[in-house]
Amino acid sequence: MKEIIDAAELFVKTELGKDSSGHDWHHIDRVRKNARLIWSKEQVGDWFIIEMAALLHDIPDEKLNESEKAGWAKLDSFLQGLKLDSHTAQKIKDCIETVSFKGGREINLNSIEAEIVQDADRLDALGAIGIARTFAFGGKKGHPIFDPGLNVREEMTLEEYRTGNSSSVNHFYEKLLKLKDKMNTAHAKQLAEERHHFMETFLAQFYSEWNGKA
């Protein structure tokens, strides 16, 4: 198993090592660490499936590829090269497919492994790290830090979520502040509460400084 994990690590470092949008190797490794923490508390699920899905979860992401189809082809090619049995490979892919927020879509998770990986990824979008990643991603996309003239988008299609006009601060309301209530596992919910509160404190300070009151 260690050889497979080592191969996955090298693959991800090669594919995402130079990413500057908040989806780099360090994000991947933090998601794995989050998943390990949740799994150790919940005491359920297959750690190999969880670890592999955590490591590979951003490989097929359409934001990081020419298309979603191209991303999944890249992932499939890598998994086939590992010569995993079809059941194991499919479980890893099933976890990965359900991770993404994608505009807040509701999707039924069919395994505890998927729940843990999704929670682990969402935790990295919260708190101090989440704030840093939000502004990194916004800058990469050419979004302003904040524009009071841009309304927060409540209902969005996936296309609107991906390409619509927004700001980094609006992204807190369009995604990040919603994540606390979307956690699956008990320990992730506990961790999310603390990180959520930190973001609310940050936003209060941000508006105070923006309006010349701090």
Structure tokens at 139: 């800058």
**Polymer length in residues for the chain:** 214
Prediction pTM value? 0.91
CATH number 3.40.50.2000 is the correct assignment for the domain at 2-210 = no
Q: How many CB atoms lie within 10 A of CB 81?
A: 10
What confidence category does residue 161 fall into, taking pLDDT thresholds of 50, 70 and 90? low
pLDDT(103) > 50: no
Predicted local confidence at residue 68, as pLDDT: 86
Q: Name, in order, each residue with C-beta under 8 angstroms of 200's C-beta and a sequence gap of 6 or more.
A: 177
Q: What percent of the chain has pLDDT over 90?
A: 77
Predicted local confidence at residue 156, as pLDDT: 67
Inter-axis angle of helices 86-97 and 68-82, nearest 10: 150
What confidence category does residue 102 fall into, taking pLDDT thresholds of 50, 70 and 90? low
Average pLDDT, the chain: 91
pLDDT(46) > 50: yes
Percent helix, strand, coil in the chain (nearest 5)?
Answer: 70, 0, 30
The C-alpha torsion from 138 through 144 and 171 to 201, rounded to 10°, is: 110
